[in-house]
Structure 1
Amino acid sequence: MVVSHFLKWIGTARVSERVAAAAALARAYVDRELAFEDRCAAEAALTLLLDDASAKVRQAMAEALSMSRHAPVQIVAALASDQPEVARFVLARSPLLTDADLIDRVATGQKATQSLIAGRPVVSMAVAAAIAEIGEPEACLDLLANGGAEIASLSFRRMAERHGHLPAVREALVSHAGLPADCRHMLLVKLGEALKGAPLVLALMGAARAERMLRDACMKASLTLIEATRAEEHAALVEHLRLRGDLTSAFLIRTVAHGKVDFFGAALVALTGQSGQRVGALLSGGHDTALKALFRAAGLAEATYIVILRALKVWRDVANGKRVAGVQEVSWLMLKELGGQGAEGELASLVKSIHLEALRRNARGHALAIAAA
């Protein structure tokens, strides 16, 4: 259809005819089938169609132009600001929309607009950050499910902070391979708080017992979390625990008893301000006097030194291939330093609880192995 004839005809055509014509003209424009003068006229005609009374006409035009880098920028921008059923094609896939355009629409758009942008084939770190900061839960879910989204650690944290109390978002975050360790711990705590406040839990246990069980469960889960945390993420996890007040002497003693020496070192780096290289050297081969000075600088109680040193020596031998040992043996040797099973006091109770937990875990594993044989 010649563009000049199209412009004369458009005023009297029916909606269905205008829809077909708008789609055909848009496709001809992006496919570069028109001569230069006709392209200029076609661009004018497409601009005129932005004012068409029928959303179906604008929708057909948006669909035809949405995936092309050769579409008129001003027309794409206008379609992106149109009503949702028109804008969705452009918002979801147009390569002409810049990060600034998309961020602006995340900030001012409706829930559906945010979700469309979160599901684009490629979502930059800046756009992902905007969705994480102000997006609705549904948009965050779409972002987390998008393999083409580049999500910064800070954006994971903001989604965990803002929507981590929602089961669907919490599950999507935990399932994401890129979730930092400190965010996993945050979600773990949120889950525990949700369970602690559940009416059934309160009815069965009471508030005090539920609080105690939550604390114990979070500590055990934190140890498991450390196992799955890359060494380069230890510092972030340490800082997260420290800000929460969870980086206690009791927790550090547990980490050493369970052989999490690298994490223990990261905690000492944060608490003392000394370099990771120096702390690592002391933990792997330092004398007791130097290690005690390190523990003192970290603010650990002097009474804890004896059990920490005993555990470190055993794990050193294990690392050097001089012996085979696990948490059960290490915790028993730590307890012996305090006087054995008859020892009393908070520190002895802590080490005894670590040893009993190891005994139960090993016995359970042995029973399961027998049953499976």
Structure 2
Amino acid sequence: MTAAIRLLTLDPADAGTVTSASHLLDLARGKTTDDRRRLLLGIAALCDATPPGAEASPLLGDIFMIIARQAERDIRKALSESLASAEWAPPALIAMLALDEIEIARPVIAASPLLKDQDLLRVLLEATIEHQIEVARRPHISGTVADAIIDRGDPATLTALAGNRTAQVSEDALARLIEHSSRIAALRAPLTRHPHLNGALAVQLYQWVGQALREAISERFQVDETRLANAVDTVTRPPPAEPRGIGNTVAAIVDKEEMERRLVAKLQSSGQLRAGFLIRAVREKRLSLFEHGVTALSGFPLRQVRAALARPSPDALFLMCAAVGIDRAVFPALLEEIRAMSDGRPGDFDTGYPGRTSLSPAAAAREFRALMGHAGG
């Protein structure tokens, strides 16, 4: 603290004249350059007198807050650098500095032990993308903060989180990151090296990465690359489309649907049925497999799932996708691919659902059931 503040050209010869508490408050309200210089000297003296592990006096906190609200940029920056690791600093000041411009905020976001989850969540909600990236890079962030970053779905912030090896990322959160890697190439390399990656998740990641990263995965998990590739095809690849020339008989349709139901059940029992598989089914034009997968993941009746795809607006499809964890950023492209397979359904009547902010899967499921129940689906 002392070294950084004294860089602001303070004269040590004045130190003995500014240690009076009342005099410090007077200086804090002062406007002159000399008042500010002498005030900083007094603060430095108080900080020097604070024992390690002790809390600073409430007076010091009041003075700091006055300085931060009124001070020039270079003083706020010096305070941020000086207080980044301090355990005795006023928490309100640290929270305020974390929302300042990024060059001021960066030191406290990166290191301050006084920033709690609610402070970091506020930064994610209110500050710039640069601030959000710093939160994602912060050592030892909690699972709550990591989940909030993944919910937001910003590529740069997700990439920073993927490279943060000390973040508390659950297996489910890591699986969601891997699903994001299907559209965000920058995630793939750090996820390949992630300390929490396990064999089951490696199979999921394997399908999205290039040859070099596939070799890294197979070497890390000591699995033959050919066998791993076959495992990916067996577990995650939808069955091939029927060759042209086979009539759409009732028997053929029933056999196909039964095969799809069995595949979905197999994936679900092994924990491999995820949103990424559903997206891939649509991209490979396997709409019926998508429907069965949504039914298994959500618990919605198949008739409601199919009714949602036939509506004059995409409202129910949007809620259905949100309920099974399909990222909102993927929805517009998914909608167009489904329409291409369904004679333009769901229609384009605008009810505002695709433009909404992210819903939790549980909230989306509740709204879907209410909507389809009201519609008699």
TM-score (norm 1): 0.47
Which protein is richer in helix relative to its size? 1
The higher relative CO (CA closer than 8 Å, separation ≥ 6) is in: 2
TM-score (norm 2): 0.47
Flag the structure with larger Rg.
1
